[in-house]
């Protein structure tokens, strides 16, 4: 017996993609409680090696301790909120030093010295260690989570792990990184990523590479698995994409992968971080990079036009296809659950 046809699901209202007042709640309810990519283990092999980034407004760093343990902290000095590092990566000689007033911290987060602070009754350095952040690794990728409420990283990514079927990523290293800025709400871009319905109209090159008529999305936990059979043996894409709530994606190529982080910069701007990983960091092929750039340019054009229309006040809500937009429906359900009580 065939399964009954499901009714079309109503979309989130357009105001959700334009209302700036929702952004602080998204930070605390969604991004603080989820795993966020901060770097790759290949950049953190030696004691004192660190990587730093700001994700959804949370400045974070991960550092390899003298004892070999990887730790993560908010990149915020306990004195007057100065940054502990400059740039995206580097190496320190045993101490993290505030760039503002020179307070120093050991690599396990303890305050070592408050430079030239002078007598201060009631000030106990033991009370002013760095604020810790959870950190875990998966297949060489380093993730941090602000909140203790996030599940373990292995549990979060178990559906992705199951689809990889033991694929060996041990030799993968960062070959290239790219950053792109979009004038749209982060949810507008995520939803575009979560469906292949638009491929025949928006992505001619991708349409020639994969069979979009057989494109499918399966939701497993808080992960959406995309399957798109390649049309030819030498296709750029390997036919597997995976997205993990709320803003991480794994795009598998024929030789390596591109990890994608969809980073909100507020309610109306989104930054895409593309991290290309190949065996031993070998150069990404021109064909792969050209396809990646073309798909991104096409997506950028359409999501910015969609955002303009969401802001215009004409569109209120729509309906989602039960055939093509399963991933979008799941994302919107996750969002409603996280924002319970705030959407009216």
Model pLDDT, residue 3: 47
Spell out a b/e string for 243-265, using b for 16 or more CB atoms within 10 Å of the CB, else e: bbbbbbbbbbbbebbbbbbbbbe
CA 37, 39, 40, 41 torsion-angle sign:
negative
Q: How large is the average pLDDT for residues 284-300?
A: 92
Q: Are 291 and 205 in contact (CB under 8 A)?
A: yes
Q: How many CB atoms lie within 10 A of CB 21?
A: 9
Confidence of residue 239 (pLDDT cuts 50, 70, 90): low
Query: Once rounded to an integer, what is the mean pLDDT over residues 327-342?
Result: 96
What pLDDT band is residue 6 in, cutting at 50, 70 and 90?
low
Whole-structure pTM value: 0.93
Give me the pLDDT at residue 235, please.
73
Range in 81-85, 224-228, 241-245, 330-334 with the lowest mean pLDDT: 224-228
Distance CA 130, CA 26 (A): 24
How many Cβ atoms sit within 10 Å of the Cβ of residue 62? 26
197-219 pLDDT per residue, tens: 999 999 998 888 888 888 899 99
Q: What pLDDT, on a 0 to 100 scale, did the predictor assign at position 7?
A: 59
Sign of CA dihedral 74, 79, 85, 91: negative
Is residue 4 pLDDT above 70, yes or no?
Answer: no
Q: What tens digit of pLDDT does each residue of 241-271 get?
A: 899 999 999 998 878 899 999 999 999 999 9
Range of weakest confidence among 67-71, 122-126, 136-140? 122-126
Domains belonging to the chain, first-starting first, are: 1-31+166-344 (3.90.380.10), 35-149 (2.102.10.10)
- State residue 240's pLDDT score: 77
d(CA 42, CA 173): 6
C-alpha 15: how far from its chain's center? Answer: 24
The fraction of the chain above a pLDDT of 70, given in percent, is: 97
User: What are the tokens at 17?
Assistant: 């993609």
Cβ contact 250:257 at 8 Å: yes
Q: State which H helix or E strand residue 338 sits in.
A: helix 326-338
What pLDDT is attached to residue 341? 87
Over residues 217-231, the mean pLDDT reads 91
Higher confidence at residue 236 or residue 282? Answer: 282
- Cα–Cα distances (Å) from 324 to 167, 192, 319, in that order, read 28, 12, 11
User: Element (H or E) spanning 179, and its range?
Assistant: strand 172-182
What are all long-range contacts of 74-78, with beta carbons under 8 Å and residues at least 24 apart?
74/130, 74/131, 74/133, 74/146, 76/130, 76/131, 77/101, 77/103, 78/103, 78/111, 78/128, 78/129, 78/130, 78/131
User: What does each C-alpha distance from 240 to 35, 37, 118 come to in angstroms?
Assistant: 21, 20, 59
Return the higher-pLDDT residue of 3 and 140: 140
User: Which two tokens mark 332?
Assistant: 């919107």
pLDDT, position 254: 73
Please tell me whether residue 208 adopts helix, strand or coil conformation. helix
Indicate whether 5 pLDDT > 70. no
């Amino acid at each position: 017996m065939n399964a009954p046809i499901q009714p079309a699901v109503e979309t989130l209202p357009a105001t959700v993609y334009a209302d700036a007042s929702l952004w602080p709640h998204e930070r605390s309810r969604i991004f603080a409680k989820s795993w966020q990519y901060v770097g790759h283990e290949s950049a953190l092999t030696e004691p004192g090696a660190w990587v730093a980034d700001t994700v959804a407004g949370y400045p974070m760093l991960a550092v390899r301790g003298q004892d070999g343990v990887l730790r993560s902290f908010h990149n915020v000095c306990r004195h007057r909120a100065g940054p502990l590092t400059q740039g995206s990566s580097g190496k320190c000689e045993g101490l993290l030093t505030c760039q503002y007033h020179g307070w120093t911290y050991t690599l396990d987060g303890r305050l070592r010295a408050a430079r030239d602070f002078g007598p201060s009754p009631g000030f106990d350095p033991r009370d002013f260690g760095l604020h810790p952040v959870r950190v875990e690794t998966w297949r060489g990728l380093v993730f941090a989570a602000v909140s203790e409420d996030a599940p373990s990283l292995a549990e979060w990514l178990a559906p992705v792990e199951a689809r990889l079927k033991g694929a060996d990523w041990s030799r993968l290293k960062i070959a290239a990184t790219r950053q792109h800025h979009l004038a749209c709400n982060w949810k507008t871009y995520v939803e575009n990523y979560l469906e292949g319905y638009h491929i025949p109209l928006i992505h001619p090159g991708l349409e020639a590479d994969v069979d979009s008529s057989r494109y499918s999305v399966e939701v497993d936990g808080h992960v959406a698995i995309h399957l798109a059979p390649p049309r030819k043996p030498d296709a750029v894409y390997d036919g597997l994409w995976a997205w993990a709530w709320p803003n991480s994606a794994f795009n598998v190529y024929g030789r390596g992968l591109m990890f994608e982080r969809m980073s909100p910069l507020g309610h109306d701007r989104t930054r895409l971080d593309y991290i290309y990983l190949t065996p031993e960091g070998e150069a990404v092929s021109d064909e792969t990079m050209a396809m990646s750039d073309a798909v991104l340019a096409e997506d950028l054009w359409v999501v910015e036009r969609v955002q303009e229309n969401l802001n215009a006040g004409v569109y209120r809500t729509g309906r989602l296809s039960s055939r093509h937009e399963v991933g979008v429906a799941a994302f919107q359900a996750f969002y409603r659950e996280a924002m319970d009580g705030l959407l009216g």
